[in-house]
Amino acid sequence: MKHRPVIATEDDPHWYKDAVIYQVHIKSFYDSTNDGVGDFAGLIEKLDYIASLGVNAIWLLPFYPSPRRDDGYDIADYRNVHPEYGTMADVKRFIHEAHRRGIRVITELVVNHTSDQHPWFQRARAAKPGSAARDFYVWSDSDQTYAGTRIIFVDTEKSNWSWDETAGAFYWHRFFAHQPDLNFDNPRVLKEVLNVMRFWLDLGVDGLRLDAVPYLIERDGTNNENLPETHAVLKTIRAALD
């Protein structure tokens, strides 16, 4: 799982293996309104140019509503677009125009964690311990749980746990403290994540690149990376989308 998977859903499930994929960060690609930020309208305007390069798939980096403390990888709303990049109508038009040119669309989907501004986390921190809302994330009364798990951003983070005053507990994060990890031991989390995937696939997206998937599951006594239980989650996702 060093290479995070693209979950493709076409009749040919392996189309992406030979694809010429053009990666796009909306905010820095093309600004159609001269406000200093790229947008979907600008990307649509340049589709003929992209097609002329022989590209047959565009891979969009995160474009969702976000505080953008981690360049959009801290998602605050899975079913919308950051207002500086355009509207959902713009996204639908982009998908249509890309398909009209024979270009498939892959979107980046961060499923390991959310922004701490996501409504799920705001509900979780205010909910009672053991409640369904609280269990959307990984909590502990001690910051010594899962000792031995490496800290990914050692230059900024001193622990994989952060204290939340409202919750009165520590929450787990493999990345920045403002990106709490979802609890994939909770079946409701996987159900919601699958619903998000279906939302974008129903909109016409051809594939999803799932970010940070080696870290979905935590187990005592392990390094909490690439665990068998994590592979089981990915197989469940694959089967559901098939």
**pLDDT tens per residue across all 242 residues of the chain:** 344 455 555 556 677 778 899 999 999 999 999 999 999 999 999 999 999 999 999 999 999 999 999 999 999 999 999 999 999 999 999 999 999 999 999 999 999 999 999 999 999 999 999 999 999 999 999 999 999 899 999 999 999 999 999 999 999 999 999 999 999 999 999 999 999 999 999 999 999 999 999 999 999 999 999 999 999 999 999 999 88
Give, rounded to a whole angstrom, the gap between the first and last alpha carbons of the chain: 20
Q: Is the pTM for the entire model greater than 0.85?
A: yes
Judged by DSSP in three states, 109 sits in: strand
Among 152, 149, 213, 208, which Cα is nearest to 1's?
Answer: 213
Can you spell out the DSSP letters for 156-216?
T-S-SEEEETTTTEEEE-SS-TTSPBB-TTSHHHHHHHHHHHHHHHHHT--EEEEETGGGS
Token code pair at residue 162: 């952060």
CB 23 within 8 A of CB 61: yes
Token code pair at residue 117: 């501004």
